[in-house]
Structure 1
Amino acid sequence: MLTRIDHIDLRVPVLADAVAFFTTLGLRQVRAFGPPRQSVEMALPGPDQVLLEIREDPAVTGTTVDHIAFAADDDRAALDALKAAGLSFSREAHLVATTGRRVSNFTDPHGGKWQLTEEYR
C-alpha cells in the first residue's frame, strides 16, 4: 500500500526566487526541468526526505500547494486497492514524460488534490 509522502507540489510566481528561498533554508536541488514544465525538485539533506516539487506559474500571486503525492512500492496494486475502497481517479497510471514518474490523481471529499506515484529514488 502507501509507503510515505513522496512530494509536495508547490506553485510559485517566480521559480528562481523560490529556489533561492528554499536553498537558504538548507534544501538542496535534486532535479530541474526546463520548459514546458519549468520546475525544480528540492529536498533537505539526508536519505528518504520528502521532495518539494516547485513549479513556476505566473498566474499565482503567492506560494500555493497544488497537491501532495503518496508513494507506493507497488503503485498499480495501491491504485486497485484504493479504487476497491471507493476512491475515484481523474488520471490513472499516467507516465509524466519529463519526470519519468507514473502518477494517478484523485481528490478528497472536500476537493483537495492528491496523487499516488510509484516509489522513486
Structure 2
Amino acid sequence: MIGYQDLQGIGITDKLALPTVVALCSVALGKPTVSTLAVLGEININGTFIKVDELANALQECMDSGAKKVLLPITSAADLGTVPPELMGSFHIIFYNSAEDAVFKALGVE
C-alpha cells in the first residue's frame, strides 16, 4: 500500500514532486519504500532539482508525521544551517543528486 500526503498543502503544480516519482517506481517494481521515510523535493520540466522551500518547516512536518529518515535533494544542503539542531537530530538525512539516485535510495537499493 502506498500513502501519499501533500504535507505542504501545495496541490497541483507545474513541477514533478519526487515522492510521486518514487511512488510510481515502487508500484512498477513491486518493491516497497524504506520504512519511516519522507521524500522531499521537486524537479522542474528541464530536470533541474529545486531546493526545498522553508526546510525547517518541511522537516518539522516530517517529524510530526513520524518520519525517521528524510530523503533530501543535495540542492537543499546549504539550508541545513537554518534548521534547529534538535530538529536535525531527529532524522537520518539521506541526500540524492538525481531522480534515479532518489528512487534507488527510497527503495533501499544501493
Normalising to structure 2: TM-score of the pair? 0.27
**1 or 2, which has the higher helix percentage?**
2
**Greater strand percent: which structure?**
1
Per the normalisation by structure 1, the TM-score is 0.26
